[in-house]
Chain A
């Protein structure tokens, strides 16, 4: 993989921040966009823009083709089978809320169980808290191992025949751990539960095969995988989607409307009320083309190499704690420097042009599990280099010096 050639395609990377060349290490929060994605959105607005699924005119047909073409690209990317199993949403959060609000609230009742883990992002935690409260179901947590990974024995113990929904993130946005989704899905199915997967941190970085994983719902966001903000998707198995009620009503999703009764369109349209995020879908389609051209195996290898390099490099710093397992992790490193709060770390790093994330990463329960109030996180993507990690390590050394001196 030619990282320099890839970097050339990301206009935003070529700028100085506070007098230093930008080192962007916050792709787990939101990735940067290549020229081809920016151009695809621009081209759509300049040449093809119209509303979808209604115009008889030429632009309406072009917009519809572009939007539905993007749906096919998503289905193919995830090996999801029939494209109507892909619902476009605003992102992972909206997608998971759709499953929790529609499927869980109609399928769960008193005495039933919803099973998640303490490492979930708030968007895969609060929807289930609320669904449990609304239905009388019990929310249960699969405990974590000391290094933050999930042991299959614990999955076996937590999921029971009373479990209706199991929802687990494929990759933790804090620990970087890759969870055994396929095995968890088998256990869920054996107990008659559906398997929901938060794919926000997996889809951008690795080949995902939904038919092989055999999960029932899978959610992801476009903006973390070189696509625009405001677009993501929910995959749902056709048989499940067909029995689910919409949660948003309005244009685009109806079949027949009378004064007192209405009926819904077929899937996926019944879940896409209102004018959809057409330009976003077009941009996501372009992002998928871009990533496919480079190849997910290449991207995955590149990031694992960077993660291993970063783990080694950062481990050698005095007074650093790194969270999550050493093995089986994606391209991010979450850490704390002794005696320096992560906000202060992030501010000093920013003054050196290095952008990282600091805070609770929308994972307050996981922060409590780690027994910290906040952490710093550097996350890598296909455009990052070993030099970026060297700059990170240098800046961290300077941070220690600065604070050692300032506090000392």
Chain B
């Protein structure tokens, strides 16, 4: 088990300088999700139009993995259609199972592949993506 496999430089960069951290005033979809086993929480806000995520912001509290994952996710989904965003969420689940998947949309995400070797931390990494999925599924209803 190598710590450097988990805490890659790009992850720590997103943790230290989170992208899209904040809240939106405009009318937006807000999803609040907790990780009940550890107390992490995220509030994800999505701006949607014509079946697309036009903007995304997040706030909340959590570890380096959950917050960097949220930073990357919001960066990657901006401007994507719901289907493209859900495809990324699916690929992220595969990444957490140790499968080799690519994120042409944002290669940074691939740095989280190391989380797979730390089973207790997978739920940290998936929190933001679960929030995204919930937000988009809510739109479909």
A344-B64 contact, Cβ under 8 Å, with A402-B7, A406-B12: yes
**B3: Cβ under 8 A from any A Cβ:** yes
CB within 8 Å: A-B pair count: 51
Residues of B within 8 A of A367 (CB): 39
**A106: Cβ under 8 A from any B Cβ:** no
Query: In the complex the two chains form, is A359's CB within 8 Å of B39's CB?
Result: yes
Residues of B within 8 A of A186 (CB): none
**B121: Cβ under 8 A from any A Cβ:** yes
**B79: Cβ under 8 A from any A Cβ:** no
- A262 vs B111: C-alpha distance in the bound complex, in angstroms? 64
Query: In the complex the two chains form, is A406's CB within 8 Å of B9's CB?
Result: yes
Majority SS at the chain A contact face = helix
**B124: Cβ under 8 A from any A Cβ:** yes
**B65: Cβ under 8 A from any A Cβ:** yes
Query: In the complex the two chains form, is A360's CB within 8 Å of B38's CB?
Result: yes
- A350 vs B117: C-alpha distance in the bound complex, in angstroms? 13
- A229 vs B49: C-alpha distance in the bound complex, in angstroms? 52
Among the interface residues A343, A344, A407, which one has the most CB atoms of the partner chain B within 10 A? A343
Residues of B within 8 A of A359 (CB): 37-39
Write the chain A residue with the least CB distance to B3.
A351
Query: In the complex the two chains form, is A373's CB within 8 Å of B62's CB?
Result: yes
**B97: Cβ under 8 A from any A Cβ:** no
Query: In the complex the two chains form, is A360's CB within 8 Å of B63's CB?
Result: no
A237 to chain B, nearest CB (A): 35
**A18: Cβ under 8 A from any B Cβ:** yes
Query: In the complex the two chains form, is B64's CB within 8 Å of A341's CB?
Result: yes
* 8 Å CB contact of A374 from B2, B38, B65: B38
Residues of B within 8 A of A341 (CB): 62-64
A402-B15 contact, Cβ under 8 Å, with A360-B38, A367-B39, A373-B40: no
B119 to chain A, nearest CB (A): 11
B62 to chain A, nearest CB (A): 7
Write the chain A residue with the least CB distance to B16.
A407
Write the chain A residue with the least CB distance to B62.
A341
Write the chain A residue with the least CB distance to B120.
A347
Residues of A within 8 A of B3 (CB): 347-348, 351, 402
Query: In the complex the two chains form, is B6's CB within 8 Å of A347's CB?
Result: yes
Interface digits, A354-398 against B, CB 8 Å rule (1 contact, 0 not)?
000011100010010000011000000000000000000000000
- A276 vs B104: C-alpha distance in the bound complex, in angstroms? 57
Query: In the complex the two chains form, is A373's CB within 8 Å of B39's CB?
Result: yes
Query: In the complex the two chains form, is B38's CB within 8 Å of A358's CB?
Result: yes
Write the chain B residue with the least CB distance to A405.
B12
Query: In the complex the two chains form, is A373's CB within 8 Å of B9's CB?
Result: no
B21 to chain A, nearest CB (A): 15
Residues of B within 8 A of A360 (CB): 38-39
Among the interface residues B15, B16, B37, B64, which one has the most CB atoms of the partner chain A within 10 A? B64
Write the chain A residue with the least CB distance to B7.
A406
B49 to chain A, nearest CB (A): 33
Write the chain A residue with the least CB distance to B61.
A373
Interface digits, B13-51 against A, CB 8 Å rule (1 contact, 0 not)?
001100000000000000000000111110000000000
A344 to chain B, nearest CB (A): 5
- A343 vs B118: C-alpha distance in the bound complex, in angstroms? 11
**B100: Cβ under 8 A from any A Cβ:** no
- A360 vs B38: C-alpha distance in the bound complex, in angstroms? 6
For window 259-299 of A, CB contacts with B under 8 Å fall at: none
* 8 Å CB contact of B41 from A348, A350, A351, A373: A373
Query: In the complex the two chains form, is A374's CB within 8 Å of B39's CB?
Result: yes
B115 to chain A, nearest CB (A): 10
Residues of B within 8 A of A18 (CB): 1
Query: In the complex the two chains form, is A343's CB within 8 Å of B1's CB?
Result: no
Binding site for A on B (CB under 8 A): 1-3, 6-7, 9, 12, 15-16, 37-41, 61-66, 118, 120-121, 124
Binding site for B on A (CB under 8 A): 18, 341-344, 347-348, 350-351, 358-360, 364, 367, 373-374, 402, 406-407
8 smallest A-B Cβ distances: which pairs? Answer: A341-B63, A343-B63, A360-B39, A359-B38, A373-B61, A374-B39, A406-B12, A18-B1
15 cross-chain CB contacts under 8 A: A18-B1, A341-B63, A341-B64, A343-B124, A344-B64, A347-B118, A347-B121, A348-B3, A351-B1, A367-B39, A373-B62, A406-B9, A406-B12, A407-B12, A407-B15
